[in-house]
Structure 1
Amino acid sequence: MTTDHTHNSPAGTSLSPGARARPRTAGTPTPRITTAQRRALLAGAKDPLGLLPKSVNLRTLVSLADAGYVGLDQSRDILRGQEATRDQLDVWGGTLTEAGWQRARAEGAGRFRIVVVGCGKAKQDRRVTAGAMYVGTFHGSCRETAKALLQDGGRQYILSAAHGLLDLTTEIDPYDITVGDPGSVSADFVQAQVWERGIESAEVTVLAGSKYVALARQSWPGLEAPLAGAGGIGEMKQRLSQIRLAARAEAGQEQ
Structure 2
Amino acid sequence: MPAIKTHSTTETEGATSVKVKPSFKTAGASAALLALLAFGASAQAQTGFTETFGTLAPPTDRTDNDYVDFTYANTGAVVDDHYAIMRPEAVVSSTGSAYWVDLSSDHTGDLNGALMVLNAGTSTGVFYARDFNVQAGRMYRVEGWRYVVNSNLAANNGPLAWKMAISGASGVPTVDSGNLNSVNNNPANRAWESSTFEFTVPQDCAARGRTINAHLDISNQTAQTSGNDLYVDDISVTDIGAAPNTCPLHLPRCPPWTLQAWACWAC
TM-score (norm: length of structure 2): 0.23
Of Structure 1 and Structure 2, the greater strand share is in 2
Q: Which structure ranks higher in relative contact order (CA pairs < 8 Å, sequence separation ≥ 6)?
A: 2
**Normalized per residue, which structure has more helix?**
1
